[in-house]
Every structure is written in C-alpha cells, then in structure tokens.
C-alpha cells in the first residue's frame, strides 16, 4: 500500500522525533494511575506544540486542545498511557529501566503517534473546528476512561465523536482495519466459592470433597459456550484459578474458582452469567454444599458507530472495514458508549504478541499512525465545515 508511506503524511524528521519520544516512554514505563512522569512529558510536548493543555483529568489524564478556524465540529483522538507489570526480556538500548514494568502493549507507540499528529496539525493543519487529543491513564485495568468521563471529559471539551487506535502484531505495518458494530469484546471476571465439608483423604465418604465438586463445575462451565449459546454469538468462558484448602492427606472443605469471560454483546454476557449461576447452583444442590457466584463486567464490548467507521475509512482509502471482531477487551469502550466512536486496528508487523515479555512496538508504524490521525482530522473537520452531521449519531451513542 504505497499510498500509506510515512513521508506522504508526516515529515520524515517528525517520524524520527516520534521514535525518540517512544523510546523515552519505553525506558520509563508507569502503571495505571501512576503515569506521573509520562503525563508530565506528554503535557510538556503538547504545550511546546502550542496546544491548550489540561492535566489531571481523571487522575493522571492529559488533554490537548487545538482549535482552527470557525468550525464548530469537535472530534477526540485517544491514546492510552499505562504500562504492564511484566519483566522485560528485551536487550535493546531503550528497554525498560523500571524492573518488572514494561510497555508490552504498545502504549508508548500509541502516545508517540498521537503526539506526532498533534505536532503536525499544530504547525500546518488544514481544518476548521476543534481537535481534542486525549491521553488516557489506566487502560489495562479498565478504569481510566470511566475516570476521565466522570471528570467531565465530554462536557468540558464538547466532544461530538471519539476515535481510538491499537496496534496488532501479525498485521502488516501501514495497514488499517475496523468494522461497524462490536469490534472488541467485553471482559467479565467471576469467582465461585464452594463451601463443602473436608475430611480425611482415606475416608472420603465422611465428608464432601470440594475438589470433586469444583472439578464438576469446571467441566460443566464449558457447556455454556459449546451447548447453551447460539453458535453465531461469540463467547469465551475460562477458569484460570482453582484454589483449595486441602493438604497432603486432607480433603479440602473450601474451593475457590476464578476466571474470565468474553462476549461481543451485552445479551451474550448476560446469558453467560445466567447459565453460570444456574449450573453452579445445580451442582452445589446435587452435592449438598454451598456455593456463591460473583460476576463483574469490567470492560463492556466496544461498539463502533457506523458513521464514524465511514469517516475513518474516508480518511484512509484502502482500509479494511469488515475485519473480524477481536475477543480482547478495550477501555475505549466507555468512550464509544458516551459519544459515537470508532476503534481502529493498525499493523505492528512480525512482532512478538501483545503482553509478551519480548514485545516491542515497531518504529516503522509510527509515521503511518500519525498520518492516519492527520488525515482523519483534516477530512472530518474539513475547512469551512460546520458542526458534524447529525446522522453520525442517529443510532445513539456508540452506534448500532
């Protein structure tokens, strides 16, 4: 896709600056709501570009505002800032300097791309309206977007639409993809506490072994997706922890199962929870034991508004607008539920997987990402443009 070459959208010198910013962020990773150095550096750069800068939004969030002309339309572009509690395995010069913390999801690259776009647009942007650059804390735990929204992000800055972008390993650098409707899944965390009756390992008939009950629950939970959901409705149910109070010759009286569920729409998520509660109650009753289920949806599904998808595609000819949805989760979902939005995927090439200890964002992708942001602002807020068309939000916040 030659039309996506970095030097067709941003100055090659700016691509070099973006790489330097990214390497600096990568060397100094910070966890969610502790992005103090990161936020200060982002604010410093935005102010240096001439943007109006607001800090402390939703904790450590930063917002830069760039107004051009008399247009009344306003779009927000969002990047995440937080790192992960992972010990980095890379040996390059910009590896993490904070032991046990690293940018293993590419948020360092996301920040650098959005900063590059802000710099380019501040210097020579051709648009009329307001571009708002949102740097969000604590994406990984699903807390930052809600915190910024609770701090009045939409109302304070008059947002009409919001756009986000995430890199995808294995997807070619310089390519982009999105889709209308659900693009990333919800994530729900569950705990199942089984209260049985322990006893001697040699006398199992005198108690009720919590491991046996728990194992039966684990197997039965797999029937939710396999036999209880419509096969056309994607879902995942995974038990990730099985903890008991048993010993070498002691049958456990308590068992705790923990796990993770994914779904692409609220109805499927609700169905998974209802089936889980019914299964656990039935097995517990059959064995004469107690069981409690807690189920918390931490991330909702990200739902792209059709009008915003069309706007993103218009800014980047050749974009795939019918990609398969992803079963990972994204805090951007909260923004897309508040105002019409679009979440876009971009290629990171042949890199290690996200959240892997040897992952690194590709510097070759920086110019492409910044170029997309520039094109989006200049096409969505075309010079002389008035307020964004009402039909974009005709389906309500978040689209269909």
109 and 37 within one domain: yes
pLDDT digits (tens, 9 = 90+) for 297-328: 999 999 999 999 999 999 999 999 999 999 99
Q: Is 205 a member of any domain? A: yes
| Residue 400 located in a structural domain | no
Task: Give the span between the Cα atoms of 222 and 343, in whole angstroms.
Answer: 30
Q: What is the pLDDT of residue 390?
A: 46
The pLDDT tens digits of the residues spanning 206-239 come to 999 999 999 999 999 999 999 999 998 889 999 9
Percentage above 70 pLDDT, the chain: 94
Does residue 322 belong to any structural domain of this protein?
A: yes
pLDDT for res 387:
56
What's 261's domain CATH number? 3.30.70.360
Averaged pLDDT, 253-278: 97
Residue 170 has pLDDT above 90, yes or no: yes
Same domain, 28 and 110: yes
Mean predicted confidence (pLDDT) in 4-25: 80
Name the token pair of 307: 């009008």
pLDDT band, very low/low/confident/very high, at 11 (cuts 50, 70, 90): confident
What's the confidence (pLDDT) of residue 7?
Answer: 38
In a domain, 398, yes or no: no
**Greatest alpha-carbon span in the chain:** 83
Residue 121 and residue 215 in one domain: no
What's the rounded Cα separation, in Å, for the pair 240 and 353? 20
pLDDT tens for 58-104 read: 999 999 999 999 999 999 999 999 999 999 999 999 999 999 999 99
Residue-averaged pLDDT of the chain: 93
- Do 212 and 97 share a domain, yes or no? no
CATH number of domain containing 382: 3.40.630.10
Residue finishing a domain among 255, 280, 299 = 299
With a CB cutoff of 8 Å and minimum separation 6, the contacts of 210 are 194, 195, 196, 198, 244, 245, 246, 251, 252, 253, 254, 255, 289
Tell me what pLDDT residue 9 has.
Answer: 59
User: To the nearest 10°, the Cα dihedral for 143, 38, 36, 39?
Assistant: -70
Mark which of 299, 314, 340 sits at the end of a domain. Answer: 299
Q: Is 259 contained in some domain?
A: yes
Domain-located, residue 399: no
Residues 328 and 355 in one domain: yes
* Domain termination residue (choose one: 276, 299, 322): 299
**Overall average pLDDT of the 316-344 stretch:** 97
DSSP string, 173-187: TT-EE-BSEEEE-EE
| pLDDT of res. 385 | 53
Count CB atoms within 10 A of the CB of residue 335.
Answer: 30
- Domain membership of residue 275 as a residue range: 186-299
For residues 372 and 114, give the distance between their C-alpha atoms in angstroms, rounded to a whole number. 10
In this predicted structure, the answer to whether residue 394 has a pLDDT above a threshold of 80 is no
Reply yes or no on whether the pLDDT at 339 is more than 90: yes
Q: How many domains does one find in the chain?
A: 2
């Amino acid at each position: 896709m030659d039309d996506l070459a970095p030097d067709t959208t941003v100055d090659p010198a700016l691509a070099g600056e973006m790489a330097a910013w990214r390497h600096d962020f990568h060397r100094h990773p910070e966890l969610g709501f502790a992005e103090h150095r990161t936020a200060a550096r982002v604010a410093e750069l935005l102010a240096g570009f001439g943007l109006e800068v607001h800090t402390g939004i939703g904790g450590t969030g930063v917002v830069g505002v760039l107004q051009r002309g008399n247009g009344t339309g306003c779009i927000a572009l969002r990047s995440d800032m937080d790192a992960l509690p992972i010990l980095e395995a890379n040996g390059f010069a910009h590896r993490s300097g904070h032991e046990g913390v690293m940018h293993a999801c590419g948020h360092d690259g996301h920040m650098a791309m959005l900063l590059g776009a802000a710099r380019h647009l501040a210097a020579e942007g051709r648009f009329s309206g307001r571009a708002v650059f949102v740097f969000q804390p604590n994406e990984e735990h699903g807390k930052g977007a809600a915190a910024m929204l609770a701090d009045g992000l939409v109302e304070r800055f008059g947002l009409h639409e919001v756009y986000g972008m995430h890199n995808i390993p294995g997807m070619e650098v310089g390519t982009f993809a999105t889709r209308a409707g659900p693009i990333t899944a919800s994530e729900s965390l569950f705990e199942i506490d089984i209260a049985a009756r322990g006893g001697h390992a040699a006398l199992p008939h005198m108690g009720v072994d919590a491991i046996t009950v728990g194992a039966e629950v684990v197997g039965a939970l797999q029937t939710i997706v396999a036999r209880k959901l419509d096969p056309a409705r994607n879902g995942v149910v995974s038990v990730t922890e099985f903890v008991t109070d048993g010993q070498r010759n002691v049958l456990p009286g308590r068992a705790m199962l923990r796990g993770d569920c994914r779904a692409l729409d609220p109805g499927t998520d609700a169905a998974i929870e209802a089936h889980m509660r019914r299964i656990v109650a039935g097995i517990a009753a059959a064995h004469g034991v107690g069981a409690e289920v807690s189920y918390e949806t931490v991330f909702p599904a990200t739902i792209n508004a059709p009008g915003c998808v069309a706007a993103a595609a218009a800014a980047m000819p050749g974009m795939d607008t019918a990609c398969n949805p992803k079963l990972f989760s994204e805090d951007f979902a909260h923004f897309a539920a508040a105002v019409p939005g679009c979440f876009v995927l971009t290629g990171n090439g042949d890199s290690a997987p996200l959240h892997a200890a040897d992952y690194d964002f590709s510097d070759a992708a920086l110019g492409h990402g910044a170029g997309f942001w520039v094109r989006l602002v200049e096409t969505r807020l075309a010079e002389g443009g008035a307020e964004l068309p009402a039909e974009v939000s005709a389906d309500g916040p978040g689209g269909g």
